[in-house]
């Protein structure tokens, strides 16, 4: 009955997300939840372990002349006190880089995150995490890659290219921005090995100060706020099988993105230090792409690979090849220090 109730909670939560109309233009990954601090600062420290290292790579639309490259790396740490007890505080750092177009318009960001977790139920692992971030960013482009119609003249049966004659006073801009978010974690049992069902529901808000990103001083071009809402669910259906569900929506100005999907996690070996599991599933970004994915879990490592198959009108140019995405996750779990044990007296 408890498992059925948990399943109903997950399905109702995802139904509410599906009914929400949302809008996005900022960073986005098809593997929802595998770049958690880009999804919500409130996900900082929300994992089973002490340290979490994540690397993300995305190469989109390589079949057309303006491919889109995106990289991310993050680290978050659940802080322990002097007595080696887990505290509710977590900190993290994240780096983002993306580049697109003939002018190689790029954005580099370095951010610092912090979060505090409030336990909602002592008997179970239900808690709410409030997090925030502070980012330093640089936006730049290379004008030498641009071409203009005024450069081309037809002479004697061939096309000649003239100098551009264009000048740019500024090709880079730096800015700072802040964000905030909250995440509810509902977990069925304190011992995750006995019951792996869990649900994360949350919302993140980025670029709250809407910093200017323009290259011309007389142009008003703020970086619009980005709002993300999501649900990430795991339902343990058997000793060796988990059902995975996810839904995510983002909005930023007039732009929108909505992704949902489902998959399965097959536990092939659950012995300590020999853990091995395989994961597979299918996602869908509305009006854009189908997203099949596979993953390998080995001990504290996770290797995820997905591929966007374009379903939008852009498929005529891309031949449905949206592009690959790779995520690598490594979690460090601190081994508890053995307490001093008094020796038994020796009897002669």
Task: Output 152 or 9, whichever has higher pLDDT.
Answer: 152
Q: Tell me the backbone φ, ψ of residue 43, rounded to 5 degrees.
A: -90, 0
* Least confident among 23-37, 240-254, 298-312: 23-37
Q: What are the residue boundaries of the structural domains of the chain, listed by start?
A: 2-146+181-332
* Least confident among 58-62, 173-177, 231-235: 58-62
pLDDT of residue 14: 46
Q: What does the block give as tokens for 81?
A: 């006190």
> Mean pLDDT across the chain, nearest whole number?
83
3-state secondary structure of 327: strand
Residue 230 has pLDDT above 90, yes or no: yes
Task: Output 314 or 333, whichever has higher pLDDT.
Answer: 333
Determine how many CB atoms are found less than 10 A away from the CB of residue 166.
Answer: 10
- Per-residue pLDDT of 38-69, as tens digits, reads 999 999 999 999 999 999 999 876 656 566 78
Residue 228 has pLDDT above 80, yes or no: yes
Residues 6+ apart with CB under 8 A from 269: 275, 276, 277
- Per-residue pLDDT of 333-342, as tens digits, reads 887 665 555 5
Residue 6 has pLDDT above 70, yes or no: no
* Least confident among 115-124, 155-164, 310-319: 155-164
Q: Where are the beta strands (DSSP E) in the chain?
A: 51-60, 68-80, 86-100, 105-121, 126-140, 152-155, 158-161, 172-187, 198-206, 226-238, 241-252, 255-269, 276-285, 289-298, 301-310, 321-332
What does the pLDDT average to over 142-167? 67
What does the pLDDT average to over 317-338? 79
What does the pLDDT average to over 177-183? 96
Q: At the top level of CATH, which class does the domain 2-146+181-332 belong to?
A: mainly beta
Residue 318 has pLDDT above 60, yes or no: no
Nearest 5°: the CA angle 95, 265, 200 is 55
Task: Output 229 or 343, whichever has higher pLDDT.
Answer: 229
Q: Would you say 52 and 329 are in contact if contact means Cβ atoms under 8 Å apart?
A: yes
Separation of alpha carbons 80 and 183, rounded Å:
21
Q: Would you say 31 and 324 are in contact if contact means Cβ atoms under 8 Å apart?
A: no
Confidence band of 85 (pLDDT split at 50, 70, 90): confident
């Amino acid at each position: 009955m408890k498992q059925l109730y948990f399943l109903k909670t997950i399905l109702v939560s995802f139904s509410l997300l599906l009914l929400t109309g949302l809008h996005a233009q900022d960073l986005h990954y098809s593997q929802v939840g595998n770049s958690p601090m880009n999804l919500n600062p409130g996900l900082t420290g929300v994992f089973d372990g002490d340290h979490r290292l994540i690397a993300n790579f995305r190469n989109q639309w390589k079949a057309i002349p303006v491919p889109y490259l995106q990289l991310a790396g993050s680290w978050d740490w659940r802080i322990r006190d002097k007595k080696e007890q887990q505290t509710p505080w977590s900190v993290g750092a994240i780096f983002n880089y993306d580049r697109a177009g003939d002018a190689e318009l790029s954005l580099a960001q370095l951010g610092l995150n912090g979060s505090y977790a409030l336990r909602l139920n002592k008997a179970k692992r239900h808690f709410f995490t409030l997090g925030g971030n502070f980012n330093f960013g640089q936006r730049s482009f290379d004008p030498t890659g641009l071409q203009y119609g005024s450069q081309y003249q037809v002479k004697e049966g061939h096309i000649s290219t003239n100098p551009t004659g264009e000048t740019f006073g500024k090709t880079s801009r730096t800015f700072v921005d802040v964000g905030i978010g909250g995440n509810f974690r509902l977990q069925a049992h304190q011992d995750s090995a006995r019951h792996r069902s869990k649900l994360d529901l949350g919302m993140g808000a980025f670029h709250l100060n809407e910093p200017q990103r323009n290259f011309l001083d007389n142009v008003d071009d703020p970086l619009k706020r980005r709002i993300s809402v999501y649900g990430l669910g795991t339902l343990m259906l058997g000793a060796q099988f988990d059902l995975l569900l996810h839904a995510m929506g983002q909005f930023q100005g007039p732009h929108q993105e909505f992704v949902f999907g489902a998959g399965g996690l097959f536990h092939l070996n659950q012995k300590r230090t020999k853990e091995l599991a395989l994961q597979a599933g299918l996602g869908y970004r509305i009006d854009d792409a189908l997203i099949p994915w596979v993953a390998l879990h080995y001990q504290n490592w996770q290797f995820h690979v997905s591929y966007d198959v374009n379903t939008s009108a852009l498929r005529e140019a891309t031949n449905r090849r949206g592009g690959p995405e790779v995520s690598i996750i490594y979690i460090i779990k601190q081994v508890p220090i053995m307490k001093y044990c008094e020796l038994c007296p020796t009897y002669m």
